[in-house]
């Protein structure tokens, strides 16, 4: 193995025990005969080895960390509850509860019953004559408003002046 390859291994796999026995033997043989590579490995050990903290990696966080977490989680839970409430309200219309279904069915039955018992009254001949009279009166009023008196005197336009509408009264 050449120096270039060895030097790469020295700062990574060899240093970290990631190599098999055969490769370790090759590197160690090289180190015995190469001062530059030996020097590099000494530097790795001297300068690139992290000191291990006395208490390991664990460190106790401040109590406010939990307080903030608790607050954030509660807020998120509240938001989720709000969204869920809205969704429930919407789905209620698509998947109604039994009580709502019963109420709607009961109302329909009552309405049908009422319609059968009190049928809608159709217009009588007298109703029709009254309605015709009222529309003619309205038309006359609009002509009076426009000032077109010639049209008012025309018998063709206003058969109402023939007073035959009094027949029904």
Catalog residues that contact another protein under the rule CB under 8 A.
Answer: 8, 11-13, 15-16, 18, 43-44, 46-62, 64-66, 68-69, 72-73, 76
CB of 85 to another protein, least distance (A): 17
Of 50 and 98, which has the nearer Cβ to another protein?
50
Of 21 and 97, which has the nearer Cβ to another protein?
21
The DSSP output letter for 60 is P
Of 25 and 80, which has the nearer Cβ to another protein?
80
Q: Are 37 and 6 in contact (CB under 8 A)?
A: yes
CB of 111 to another protein, least distance (A): 46
CB of 70 to another protein, least distance (A): 8
- Cα separation, 63 vs 131, in Å, equals 85
Q: Are 86 and 49 in contact (CB under 8 A)?
A: no
Q: What token pair was written down for 68?
A: 């903030």
CB of 91 to another protein, least distance (A): 22
CB of 29 to another protein, least distance (A): 22
Backbone angles phi, psi at 118, to 5 degrees: -120, 85
Q: Report, in this order, helix, strand and coil percent for the chain, each rounded to 5.
A: 75, 0, 25
Of 58 and 164, which has the nearer Cβ to another protein?
58
Torsion of CA 122, 124, 129, 135, to 10 degrees: -10
Of 38 and 161, which has the nearer Cβ to another protein?
38
């Amino acid at each position: 193995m050449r120096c270039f390859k060895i030097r790469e291994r020295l700062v990574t796999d060899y240093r970290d025990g990631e190599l098999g026995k055969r490769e370790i033997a090759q590197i160690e043989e090289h180190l015995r005969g190469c001062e530059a590579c030996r020097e590099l490995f000494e530097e790795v050990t001297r300068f690139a080895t992290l000191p291990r903290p006395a208490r390991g990696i664990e460190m106790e966080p401040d109590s406010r960390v939990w307080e903030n977490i608790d607050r954030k989680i509660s807020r998120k839970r509240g938001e989720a509850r709000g969204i869920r409430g809205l969704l429930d309200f919407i789905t209620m219309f698509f998947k109604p509860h039994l009580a709502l279904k019963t109420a709607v069915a009961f109302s329909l039955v009552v309405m049908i019953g009422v319609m059968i018992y009190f049928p809608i009254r159709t217009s009588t001949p007298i109703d029709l004559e009254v309605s015709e009279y009222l529309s003619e009166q309205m038309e006359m009023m609009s002509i009076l408003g426009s000032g077109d008196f010639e049209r008012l005197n025309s018998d063709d336009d206003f058969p109402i002046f023939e007073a035959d509408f009094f027949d029904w009264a």
